[in-house]
Amino acid sequence: MRIGILGTGGIAARHAAAIKEVEGAELVAATSRGFDTAEAFSVRHGGTAYAGLDRMLGEAELDLVIVALPPGAHAGQVEQIAAAGVSVLVEKPISLDLGRARAMVAATDKVTAACGFMYRFGGAVERWTALEAAGETGRAGHFSGSFHCNALHAPWWRDRAMSGGQMVEQLIHIVDLQRSAMGMPNSVVARSANFRHAQTPGYSSEDMSAMIFGYDDGRIAVLHASNIAVPGRWMKGWQIVAECATGIFADWNTAEIVRTDGQVSSEKVAATTDPFVAQLADLRDAIAARRPPRVPLSDGLATLQLVLAARRAADEKREVSL
């Protein structure tokens, strides 16, 4: 599987490392908004640097392009890749505009197209998913999750016009797990603020937020985030309370799953899965078998609807229907 990468920032480096671990996968090309940046990336990670997407698609004979652009930089590249008959993995959020996101999904119907929600490939997440599919957890009635950090990140991340803000760019991972466990909610209320960084040049993103998703059948999901917590520490976790089991997740590989129906029993999960590697291996197999990937691009659209609705609810200080 010959792979090219579009966008050469930090997340692209994670994908490049994963490619080296996947049998049958090879990084052969990279391009970025500047050729010098692409060339430096290729020196570090391999492959040939190209001056633009047109040349990379025309010359590199690719099977897959990993799109690792800032979400605000999407301007038809995914559609161009699909039109060339090349499969695609798009980092989340796939856009900041639902119209653009829908166009991406529609344009990729003839190729294998995935969204980069790699949390779903963690060992603890997969264990809960397997138990749920076997009917052992019952329906999930309550989900709570959080994402707390303290970093300035890249300049584009601090700019809400390019990243969408912390809810849209970071907390979206946890929101996707919530949607995967519970399905689409009916409404959302939210609050957000630029509490600590209002005087930081170029920082227009929120640095704290909370959202509550409501379901007409009474189920509830509560998610919150901040960027004023412990420097250098990425504090992410979530809990799923279902009819017959409760999952307490420290991360994608580490969890305690407690059976609550009948005699209470506890199962500890401590996996070592690299979700970037597992995600790419699934995509390799999906391309070879001509089957959908486990996390299709349409999931990127569905979860994007939730975080954009939450951002709107926070901006307008009202409940937003979904």
Give me the residue spans of the domains in the chain: 2-118+277-294, 119-273+304-321
Other residues' Cβ atoms within 10 Å of the Cβ of residue 45 = 18
CA distance 90 to 79: 11
Looking at the chain, the whole-number percentage of residues with pLDDT higher than 90 is 99
Amino acid at 257: I
CA distance 314 to 32: 34
pLDDT in tens, 89-117: 999 999 999 999 999 999 999 999 999 99
- The pair of structure tokens assigned to 314 is 């926070």
Residue in 133, 113, 129, 121 with CA at minimum distance from that of residue 293: 113
What is the homologous superfamily of the domain 119-273+304-321 according to CATH?
Answer: Dihydrodipicolinate Reductase; domain 2 (3.30.360.10)
Q: Which residue has the tokens 């329906």?
A: 139
- CATH topology assigned to domain 2-118+277-294: Rossmann fold (3.40.50)
DSSP structural state of residue 232? T
pLDDT in tens, 302-317: 999 999 999 999 999 9
CA distance 140 to 134: 14
| pLDDT value for 33 | 86
Residues constituting the chain? 322
pLDDT in tens, 152-210: 999 999 999 999 999 999 999 999 999 999 999 999 999 999 999 999 999 999 999 99
What φ, ψ does residue 168 adopt, rounded to 5°? -80, -35
Angle at 81 between CA 173 and CA 302, to 5 degrees: 30
Residue 122 has pLDDT above 90, yes or no: yes
List, in sequence order, every residue forming a beta bridge with 266; answer none if it has no partner: 258
pTM above 0.95, yes or no: yes
